[in-house]
Amino acid sequence: MELQTLTYLVVGASFALYIGIAIWARAGSTRDFYVAGSGVHPVANGMATAADWMSAASFISMAGMIAFMGYGGSVFLMGWTGGFVILALLLAPYLRKYGKFTVPEFIGDRYYSRGARVVAVLCLIICSVTYVIGQMKGIGVAFSRFLEVDYSTGLLVGMCIVFFYAVLGGMKGITYTQIAQYCVLIFAYTIPAIFISLNLTNNPIPQLGLGSTLAGSDTLLLDKLDQVVTELGFREYTTDVRLSGLNMFAFTLSLMIGTAGLPHVIIRFFTVPRVRDARSSAGWALLFIAILYTTAPAVAGMARLNFMQTLEPSPGEHMVYEQRPQWFKNWEVTGLLGFEDKNEDGRVQYSADPEVNEMVTVDNDIMVLANPEIARLPNWVIALVAAGGLAAALSTAAGLLLAIASSISHDLLKGMIAPGITEKQELLASRVAMAVAIAGAGYLGFNPPGFAAGTVALAFGLAASSIFPALMMGIFSPRISREGAIAGMLAGIGVTLLYVFQHQGIMFIASTSFLGEMQPNWFFGIEPNAFGAVGAVINFSVAFAVSRITAPPPARVRELVEHIRVPVGAAAAHDH
């Protein structure tokens, strides 16, 4: 069966499954809509959390970034997985014990302030909207390539699918849909990796294949990759750091605490029945995530080797452009792969030297999606990868949109503007807010803002600098006052946004104006996407400083903090 037909069948079957689950798991109450009735089994919740977490960035972009960054790309592996350890140990059980629906609700109660709740809502929306831009872009790109429709049509279809199961089912529908999406995306990621590992190393386990010798050779795969990239002028794959050691540390820390501060991940731990289930869910989520994350370095290394050896089958022998393979033609159409015959010899030269390099466009994001085609795997595997990429983007987009909608309907409308509305009215408001959030996300997908490059890492930095410190201090520091928390959140997210826009917005404007070209003046060499760690330090510092000169929290708040941290033991009748 031809690739196009197979792709439509596999993707169509997965969409039918998602819609069927949404109809079965329709939310009938606000508790169902916000936290799935707090009745999800920890293993199921761990799987749903993994799907919620592993976005288009994890499925499509992460291996692509590692493929071209080499060792420097390990910041994503360490940061994104390490964040779940922090969640499991320091946040999830305490927030579940508190027993509320949303992160802003906890912050508002803990800091005894409607103002703190509003600031938390604003921070949540900024982080989530920044993150969702990348998901909507991923949906559009995946559809446009594999379903052979234009980008706008692909994005519109994706929006309709998310609208149906997110608005109808809320958290309950999203939870069970994400379980199905996890199964789709993990099979779509690991099966091609197994095939390619077998082809290159005769080892069916990609994680081991990456450290194995090439088939029919005594040369290690990574040694071969180092040799190939250095011969073409690129830095050595296995040792090249990301700008500097300090920048790698800051980037890893920003991703780690950003993970622990992202609202759409945190609210997943409100869906389990008991406190201990929250920690258990985090452990299961880390296990399910590790299946993909330990495979990603192998996918990255093998994809880079296959890609470079396709363009240059042997040293000094370049691929003839007119005889380029079909996968090359397919990705040229998308604009993510571009060739310019600079010396007019009809051959493709790929080099680190911009004067020689004729591959003028090689987008990182094509590596995972193009990898099965480059390796000449069966069509059904390529179709499965398409379904997996869409599942990853759709699952995270749904979680983010629910976090935005619940903050608007529950925290702003029910919590502040109209506290007297009935549950039925709140449920209607939640669905309307979800529909508006989907429309807004779609608009940003059709018209991405100029700073959209690197939006995923930016979203983590914003969460790290605003929400994470407020939660940590709210749980572990009874002395932090409402004034301190509000000042800290505003200072953290404000400084981070200023730093990002200064170097990604103003720098761009300056470089195209009479001011001429400007060089980035980074703080200690820390790039904007890694600045969230610095923003978090500023948040903590401002919060503690302001709290020292303002009135301490009321006794009831200090008792609340102590109560949250007391383990639920045999003396407790049941968990909250």
In a domain, 470, yes or no: no
Residue type, 411: D
pLDDT number for residue 145: 66
**pLDDT of 224-239, one tens digit each?**
999 988 888 888 888 8
Print the domain residue range for 195: 3-304+377-454
pLDDT band, residue 510 (cuts 50/70/90): very low
In a domain, 360, yes or no: no
| Residue from 19, 28, 35, 27 nearest 406 by CA | 35
pLDDT number for residue 37: 67
pLDDT number for residue 466: 93
- Which pTM value belongs to this model? 0.82
| Residue from 315, 391, 572, 495 nearest 10 by CA | 391
In a domain, 467, yes or no: no
Over its C-alpha atoms, the chain yields an Rg (Å, rounded) of 24
In a domain, 461, yes or no: no
Beta bridge mates, 338: 361
Q: The domain spanning residue 190 has which CATH number? A: 1.10.4160
pLDDT number for residue 513: 38
The yes-or-no verdict on residue 389 having pLDDT over 70 is: yes
- From CA 479, how far away is CA 500, in angstroms rounded? 31
- From CA 350, how far away is CA 229, in angstroms rounded? 10
pLDDT, greater one: 551 or 526? 551
Residue type, 125: I
State the DSSP string of 286-329: HHHHHHHHTTHHHHHHHHHHHHHHHH-SBTTBPPBGGG--HHHH
pLDDT number for residue 521: 58
Cβ contact 393:142 at 8 Å: yes
pLDDT number for residue 163: 79
Mean pLDDT of 319-336: 83
State the DSSP string of 222-284: HHHHHHHHHHTTPPPTTT--SS-HHHHHHHHHHHHHHHHH-HHHHGGGGSSSSHHHHHHHHHH
State the DSSP string of 193-229: HHHHHHHHHS-S-HHHHTTSBPTTSSSBHHHHHHHHH
Low-confidence winner among 136-145, 404-413, 430-439 (lowest mean pLDDT): 136-145
Q: CA–CA distance from 300 to each of 66, 254, 560 (Å)?
A: 6, 23, 47
**Alpha-carbon torsion (445, 450, 452, 453), positive or negative:** positive
The yes-or-no verdict on residue 445 having pLDDT over 90 is: no
Bridge-based pairing state of the strands 361-362 and 337-338:
antiparallel
The yes-or-no verdict on residue 504 having pLDDT over 70 is: no
In a domain, 118, yes or no: yes
pLDDT number for residue 416: 77
Tokens 């009745």 — which residue?
A: 39
In a domain, 332, yes or no: no
> How does the average pLDDT of the chain come out, rounded?
82
pLDDT number for residue 207: 92
In a domain, 93, yes or no: yes
pLDDT, greater one: 181 or 456? 181
pLDDT, greater one: 423 or 516? 423
Burial class, 109, CB count within 10 angstroms (exposed 0-12 / middle 13-18 / buried 19+): middle
Q: CA–CA distance from 524 to each of 148, 219, 534 (Å)?
A: 45, 40, 11
Low-confidence winner among 107-111, 191-195, 301-305, 428-432 (lowest mean pLDDT): 428-432
Helix runs in 90-201, H state only: 92-98, 103-110, 114-146, 151-201
pLDDT number for residue 518: 40
- Residue % of the chain over a pLDDT of 70: 90
The yes-or-no verdict on residue 354 having pLDDT over 90 is: no
pLDDT band, residue 483 (cuts 50/70/90): very high
Residue 271, phi-psi category: left (phi > 0), alpha (psi -120 to 50), beta (remainder): alpha
Domain count, the chain: 1
pLDDT number for residue 494: 93
pLDDT number for residue 17: 86
In a domain, 464, yes or no: no
CB atoms within 10 A of CB 228: 17
Mean pLDDT of 17-34: 75
- From CA 136, how far away is CA 145, in angstroms rounded? 14
| Helix (DSSP H) and strand (DSSP E) numbers for the chain | 25, 2
- Residue % of the chain over a pLDDT of 90: 22
Tokens 């290394």 — which residue?
A: 301
Phi, then psi, of 213 in degrees rounded to 5? -85, 155
- From CA 487, how far away is CA 483, in angstroms rounded? 6
Q: Is residue 361 helix, strand or coil? A: strand
